A and B are shown apart, each in its own frame.
Chain A
C-alpha cells in the first residue's frame, strides 16, 4: 500500500512538472513516504497540487526544517493529510552558496514564520514569501548560526 502511495505521489509531481525527472528519489523513511524533488521543480504549482489534489490533500504543514549538509543545503517539509491520515516528507536540495528555495507561504500559511526562521538561522532564501526577514535574531546579526561553518564569537557573547 505504502509503496503504491509513493508511486502515486511521484507520478503526480512529475505530471505537474511535465517530465519524469522532477522526483529525484522516492523511498520509505521509517515507514513514511519521502520524496526528493529537484529545486527547479519545487514550485508553488507543485505545492498547490499537493495541497489540493483530492487523492493527496496534504492540507497540514507540520514542520519545515533546513539542514546544512556542508556540500549542499536541504529544506525538508513534513506534510500531513488530515482527511487521509497520510504523511509525506518532501526534500528539496539547494546549493550552499546563494541557497534559494521557492516559498510555500501562499499555500500553507504555517510556512510564514517557519521559513523566516530557516532564513534567519541558515540563510536559505525563500522567494515569494510575503515578508522574509530575520525573526529570532536581531536584524543586524551577522551570519547564520546553524550553518556548520559558523564561528561563535565567544568574546562578544561574554563567554571568553
Chain B
C-alpha cells in the first residue's frame, strides 16, 4: 500500500537561527526531501554602491567595513588597493606589512566565527565558546591598532590610518602562540568526532568543474580540489615575501571545506609570524594619503581583486577625474557563493541543508550590500 504524499512549501527564514542574519529560503519539499530551493535576499540591502557615488574616495572606506563585517580589514584593503591602482601610488613598505598583519589576523578571526557557528548549527554548542574566546584575543589586537573591534576603517588609501602602538608586534607574537595551541585543541575536540564526521563526510559534494563554473572561490573552491589562492597566484601587497602553503582537499564535501579552513588558519599564523619578524621601520602612509581632497584619480577604470576569508573579493572602480568615484562595483564572495543553493539543495534531505548552508560561510551584510 502506498501512502499519499504531496509537496509543500516551507519558508526557512527570514528569521532563522542558522541563517546568521536575514536570509530566506523558500523550500518546496516532498516528505523530508527538498525538490526546489529558492533563496530570497536583499533584506539588508543598503545601496552601498549608490552611496559610494556621492562620497569622497576616502569617505567610502567605513561603508566597506559593513559588507563582510567579520572580515572588514580585507574589504578596506581591496577598495583602497583599487583606488591606489588608479592613482599609481607607491605604498610605504611598513604600511604593507601592517596591512598583511591585520588582514591575516582578521582572516583567522573570521574563520573562528565560522568554526564556532557552523558547529553550533549542526548541534555542538561548546565549540562556539572556544571559538569566541580565541577570536576575542585577536579582536583585542585589532582593537589596539585600529580603535574598533569589527568596523575598523584602518586601511587607508596610500597606507594605514596610523602606526602600531608600542609593543604591539610583541603582543601579536604572543597571541600567535596562544591561538596556534588552541587550534590544535579544536582538532582534538571536533575534527575526529564520529558524529561530526557522519554529518559532514560525503555531504554537499561540489566537483571542481562546477566550483569554477559557479565562480566559487576561497576555501569552498579549495575544498573541491582547486589549488587556487590569489595570495599565491597573483601576489598583491607583499604576499610574495612569505613562505606559506595553500591547503587543498579533493573531496569537495562539507568535511573538506571544514579541513581547508582549519588548515588555512595555521598558514595565516605562519604569515603573521614572518611579517612580525621582518617588519621594517618607516612611514605608514603615502604623504598625499593624509589629505583626502587630493585623492583624485585620473579618468579610468580598473578591476582589482584579492583573497578574503570567504573567497575572491573585488572592486570595479570607474573614475571620471573628480573627487568622488563615478561607479563602484563590489564583487562580494558571499553573494556569488550562496547562489549555488538553488541547485545544490535539490534532492537533499532537510537535515543536510543546515550543514551545506553552514559550510559555505556567508555573511548577509556582504550578500545584500
Contacts and interface: CB of A to CB of B under 8 A. Distances in A.
A110 interface: yes
Interface residues of A, number: 30
A138 B42 contact: yes
Given A112-B339, A136-B45, A137-B42, A62 B305 contact: yes
B327 A78 contact: no
B42 A135 contact: yes
A121 interface: yes
A21 interface: no
Contacts of A117: 335
B347 interface: no
Contacts of A30: 85, 300, 302
Contact of B228 (A29, A62, A67, A82): A82
B215 A108 contact: yes
Interface string B294-333: 0000001111010000001010101000000011010100
B209 to A, nearest CB: 9
Interface string B243-261: 0000000000000000000
A138 B43 CA distance: 9
Interface string B80-115: 000001000000000000000000000000000000
Contacts of B134: none
A113 B335 contact: yes
Give the interface size bracket for B toward A: 20 to 34
B47 interface: yes
Given A30-B85, A62-B305, A67 B339 contact: no
A114 interface: yes
B65 interface: no
B137 to A, nearest CB: 34
B45 A137 contact: yes
Nearest to B38: A131
Contacts of B228: 82
A138 B40 CA distance: 10
A108 B213 contact: yes
B85 A62 contact: no
A67 B318 contact: yes
Given A78-B316, A136-B369, A146-B49, A29 B213 contact: no
19 contacts: A29-B300, A30-B85, A30-B300, A62-B331, A63-B303, A63-B316, A65-B303, A65-B316, A65-B327, A67-B327, A76-B301, A78-B316, A110-B213, A117-B335, A121-B49, A135-B41, A136-B42, A136-B368, A138-B42
Interface of B: 41-42, 45, 47, 49-50, 85, 212-215, 226, 228, 233-234, 300-303, 305, 312, 314, 316, 318, 326-327, 329, 331, 335-336, 339, 342, 368-369
Interface of A: 29-30, 59-63, 65-68, 76, 78, 82, 85, 89, 108-110, 112-114, 117, 121, 135-138, 145-146
